[in-house]
Amino acid sequence: MKASVYYENGGPEVFRYEDVPDPACPPDGIVIDVEVISVEGGDMINRSRVPLLSRPHIVGYQCAGTVREVGPQVKNFRVGDRVVSVVPNGAYAERVAASAARTWAVPAGADLVPIASVPVAFGTAHVALFALGNLAKGEKVLVHAGAGGVGLAAIQLAKEAGAEVLTTASSDDKLARLREFGAAHGINYKTSSLQDAVAKAVGPRGVNLVLDSVGGKNLQDSVGCLAYRGRIVSLGRAGRDPTLFDPYPLWAKNGSLIGLYLLSSLDHEHAQTHRAIAECIERVARGELRVVIDKQFALADAAKAHTYVEQRQAFGRVVLHTRG
Ligand SMILES: NC(=O)c1ccc[n+]([C@@H]2O[C@H](COP(=O)([O-])OP(=O)(O)OC[C@H]3O[C@@H](n4cnc5c(N)ncnc54)[C@H](OP(=O)(O)O)[C@@H]3O)[C@@H](O)[C@H]2O)c1
């Protein structure tokens, strides 16, 4: 099979489009003929800096396609089913081996392209807001990097839960578009002080919950925007800023910093996490929640897709197609 692989960390130019061996089907899993691959924020971070597990390495957390092979322990999927899966790596390929426990059926008639981008973004947003963030109706929530995959999902879910949503982005154009997804206040974090902008939007008491996918100084600055007993869910380091977090400023607020890793939620709180993602898939298929697909590339052009995302032009998701 063909895959977009790399032999070393680096910029998008490290990708090679090559023949690699087909994956073996795990006893508790499936092999998927992949059609659509969702380019996740973590893919860029893996490519640029995470030590390779194999050489060549196939990156990629999420893909959708048709079941080609089923392991002997799997009872809920059959050859020919359309599915979407989350994998720890290996998604940038024509075939992927996936765990059945991290796989969801694609609703009949649904377009595979948006569905391919649901589990990680909506699952992460859902766990951050509800299972970990304990978001209550009427609370104020700050969603960083609102125009990213997780951000767009979080804005929609928070808004429909009755929260007042603030969001950040690197351009006023992105912020203007985020209003139609439910953001009441937009903050350009390239041109304004976060704490001042939050105080201006909702008053000096600040927000009850922050979802931070940017990390570094942005995570630290978020403490200054927090209300008494506020919570910060730290889930990403999209900003590539190595600044270490100092918990001391949280003390005066009796505030909490909570870490999130979606694959841990799927392992340790499997039933509720899997169900929440299944509901999001159904709701995207019905048009009740929206996935924005910004651009589509061939799998062979993974380097172009990563370059585009890293230029910070994307609004929503970029996807790759195995069939060009
Ligand atoms: N913990 C978990 O389980 C989990 C799950 C999903 C994702 N994540 C992490 O969460 C982060 C966001 O994921 P995602 O899939 O939403 O990513 P994405 O769709 O690529 O969006 C990332 C956003 O980060 C912002 N950003 C800020 N600084 C950036 C920089 N230096 N380079 C590129 N983008 C930058 C960009 O918005 P602006 O240009 O508007 O700033 C962009 O929209 C990633 O770090 C990812 O690894 C973690």
Kindly list the averaged pLDDT for each block of 10 residues, start to end, along the chain of length 324: 98 98 98 98 96 96 98 98 97 98 98 98 98 98 98 98 98 97 97 96 97 98 98 96 96 97 97 98 98 98 98 96 90
d(CA 180, CA 159): 11
**Residue bearing the CA closest to ligand 1, atom 9:** 236
Burial class (CB in 10 A: 0-12, 13-18, 19+), 249: middle
> What's the CA-to-centroid distance between 22 and ligand 1, angstroms?
30
Could you tell me the sign of the dihedral formed by the alpha carbons of 251, 242, 211, 203, in that order? Answer: positive
Q: Where in the chain is the domain with CATH 3.90.180.10?
A: 2-117+291-321
pLDDT of residue 228: 98
Q: Which fold has domain 2-117+291-321?
A: Quinone Oxidoreductase; Chain A, domain 1 (3.90.180)
Q: Is 235 in the pocket of ligand 1 (CB under 6 A)?
A: yes
- Angle 193-231-279 from CA coordinates, rounded to 5°: 110
Strand partners, 186: 167
Mean pLDDT of the chain: 97
d(CA 22, CA 264): 27
pLDDT of residue 14: 98
Task: Indicate the top mutation candidate among 120, 127, 150 to test ligand 1's pocket, ranked by most ligand atoms within 8 A of CB.
Answer: 150
Q: Is 84 in the pocket of ligand 1 (CB under 6 A)?
A: no
| Nearest ligand 1 atom, CA 215 | 45
pLDDT tens by residue, 83-113: 999 999 999 999 999 999 999 999 999 999 9
> What's the CA-to-centroid distance between 236 and ligand 1, angstroms?
7
Q: Where are the alpha helices (DSSP H) in 91-169?
A: 112-115, 119-126, 149-160
Could you tell me the sign of the dihedral formed by the alpha carbons of 37, 40, 42, 48, in that order? Answer: positive
pTM: predicted TM-score of the whole model, two decimal places: 0.97
**Residue bearing the CA closest to ligand 1, atom 14:** 41
pLDDT of residue 324: 74
Q: Is 145 in the pocket of ligand 1 (CB under 6 A)?
A: yes
d(CA 153, CA 284): 11
Of 51, 56, 53, which is closest to residue 14 (Cα–Cα)? 56
SS3 state of residue 234: strand
Only one residue has tokens 């061939």, namely 298
> What's the CA-to-centroid distance between 279 and ligand 1, angstroms?
23
Task: Assign 3-state DSSP to the chain and report helix, strand, coil percentages, each to 5.
Answer: 35, 25, 40
| Nearest ligand 1 atom, CA 150 | 16
pLDDT of residue 191: 95
Q: Is 110 in the pocket of ligand 1 (CB under 6 A)?
A: no
Q: Where in the chain is the domain with CATH 3.40.50.720?
A: 120-263
Q: Is 29 in the pocket of ligand 1 (CB under 6 A)?
A: no
Q: Which fold has domain 120-263?
A: Rossmann fold (3.40.50)
Question: What is the residue-wise DSSP string for 276-303?
Answer: HHHHHHHHHHTTSS---EEEEEEGGGHH
SS3 state of residue 223: helix
Fill in the DSSP letter of residue 29. Answer: E
Q: Is 233 in the pocket of ligand 1 (CB under 6 A)?
A: no
Query: What is the 3 state secondary structure string of 253-275?
Result: HCCEEEECCHHHHHHHCHHHHHH
Task: Indicate the top mutation candidate among 38, 152, 235 to test ligand 1's pocket, ranked by most ligand atoms within 8 A of CB.
Answer: 235
pLDDT tens by residue, 271-315: 999 999 999 999 999 999 999 999 999 999 999 999 999 999 899
